[in-house]
Chain A
Amino acid sequence: MTLIYGLIWGSWVVFGIATVWAFAWAVRSGQFRQVSKGSKVLFDEDEPVGEMTDAFPDVPDDQLPDPDNEGNDG
């Protein structure tokens, strides 16, 4: 049984380290550095923040809710 527990915890540790390593890369390469900027990669000038991009076919664009600012981020 000792061997089994050893293998389980061992594999957990080894692969855990690999995962932490990948995570560390993500940190080092700045994946988390510009976090608020990163979350905005979905938007561009043509489809900016504040504009809905989907609607029922029977709802005309001008009846959509007013575009707003970025909401209650603060």
Chain B
Amino acid sequence: MSDTRSHPDGPRPDDDDGRQVWLTPPESMQHSLFIAAGVLATVIASYVGLVAIPNWQVNRLEPVMLDNGETYPAERSELAQKGKDVYIDLGCVYCHSQQVRQNDFGGDLSRGWGMRSSVPLDYTREETPVLGTMRTGPDLRNIGGRQPSRQWHYLHLYNPRITSPGSTMPPFRFLFDTVPIEGRTNVPVGRVDMPEEHSVPGHYVVATDRARALVEYLLSLDHDQTLPENANRGTDPEQVDR
């Protein structure tokens, strides 16, 4: 870079438009670096402010002991963790948020999406939090507490209109197998209790491993616990800290 004259693409005296004359390169080079530094500094500043410092601040949060002796946030089971991968690869986040907004801000609490608003501590164990920015469907941060029935979730995923008439959620039939009843002696694991009018004649509808993991993850979404004082270390957006 130091000697731009010798660059193969540089203008040469025999160029067809022999008009190209260098500004004295060292000087223009110096200016370019100068401008580049100033220009780049603006975005590095925002990196420090919006990425580095918040990261440092929430990384100081540690799981806490609840009144009932449990650690919070609890670690997810392996199956639930797999379910989160399914949640991520199917892109559930594009229609469902996972954050309960602050009190008196939007109808989150009054809709029953949580007993309290979400705080950074709720997400400390999550490598990829799926906060979401869209509510084409309802918030799912506490869906496990709100809807603890495994069968309900299977039916809802298989065809959302069975459990929720008028829903526009796509059916996820590809997460289910149909197994012929004839010739089977036992009921397969993950069998879905289909209502009469939606059943597949002569077949069991069975949740695949992916569906089972996904539902396990949904059931694990329950972040309504009351936190001890000082657990948030100044990161709770509702507390005006000092």
Which residue numbers of A lie inside 8 Å of B, CB to CB?
Answer: 1, 4, 7-8, 11-12, 14-16, 18-19, 21-23, 25-26, 29
State the Cβ distance, B42 to closest chain A Cβ, in Å.
6
Contact B241 A1 (CB under 8 A): yes
What total of A-B pairs shows CB separation below 8 Å? 44
- Bound form: Cα–Cα A29–B38 in Å: 15
B39 at the A interface (CB under 8 A) = yes
CB of B45 within 8 A of CB of A12, answer yes
* Residue in chain B with minimal CB distance to A15: B45
Q: Please determine whether A19 and B49 come into contact, CB atoms closer than 8 angstroms.
A: no
Q: Using Cβ atoms and an 8 Å threshold, which residues of chain B touch A15? A: 41-42, 44-45, 48
Cβ-closest chain A residue relative to B27: A29
- For B41-55 the 0/1 string (1 means CB < 8 A from A) is 110110011000100
Q: Which of B29-37, B126-134, B159-167, B186-194 lies at the binding interface? A: B29-37
Whether, in the assembled complex, B7 has its beta carbon less than 8 Å from a beta carbon of chain A, the answer is no
- Contact between B35 and A25, CB atoms less than 8 A apart: yes
- Please tell me if the beta carbons of A22 and B38 are within 8 angstroms of each other in the complex: yes
Q: List 9 A-B contacts (CB under 8 A).
A: A1-B234, A8-B49, A14-B45, A15-B42, A15-B48, A21-B38, A22-B35, A25-B34, A25-B38
The SS class assigned to the A binding surface is helix
**Chain A residues near B44 (CB, 8 Å)?**
15
Q: Does B111 contact A (CB under 8 A)?
A: no
List A contacts of B45 (CB < 8 A): 11-12, 14-16
The 8 lowest CB-CB distance pairs between A and B, nearest first, are A22-B38, A15-B45, A18-B41, A15-B41, A11-B48, A19-B38, A11-B45, A8-B49
Q: Smallest Cβ distance from B49 to chain A, in angstroms? A: 5
User: What A residues does B234 contact at CB under 8 A?
Assistant: 1
**Contacts known (A1-B241, A8-B53); A22 close to B39, Cβ less than 8 A:** yes
- A4: min CB distance to chain B, Å: 6
B57 touches A4 (CB 8 A): yes
- Which residues of the partner chain A approach B48 to less than 8 Å between Cβ atoms? 7-8, 11, 15
Residue of B nearest to A10 (CB): B48
User: Which residues of B sit under 8 angstroms from A1, Cβ to Cβ?
Assistant: 234, 241-242
Interface string of B202-242 (1 = CB under 8 A from A): 00000000000000000000000000000000100000011
Contact of B49 among A12, A22, A25, A29 (CB under 8 A): A12
Shortest C-beta distance, A70 to chain B (Å), equals 27
Within B53-81, the residues touching A (CB, 8 Å) are: 53, 57
Distance A1 CA – B49 CA, assembled complex (angstroms): 14
Given known contacts A11-B45, A15-B44, A29-B31, A23 and B38 CB-to-CB distance under 8 angstroms: yes
Interface pair B34/A19, CB less than 8 Å apart: no
B-side contacts of A25, CB under 8 Å:
31, 34-35, 38
- Given contacts A1-B234, A22-B39, is CB(A11)–CB(B34) below 8 Å? no
Q: Which one, B31, B34, B53, contacts A7 given CB within 8 A?
A: B53
In the assembled complex, the Cα of A18 lies from the Cα of B41 at a distance in Å of 7
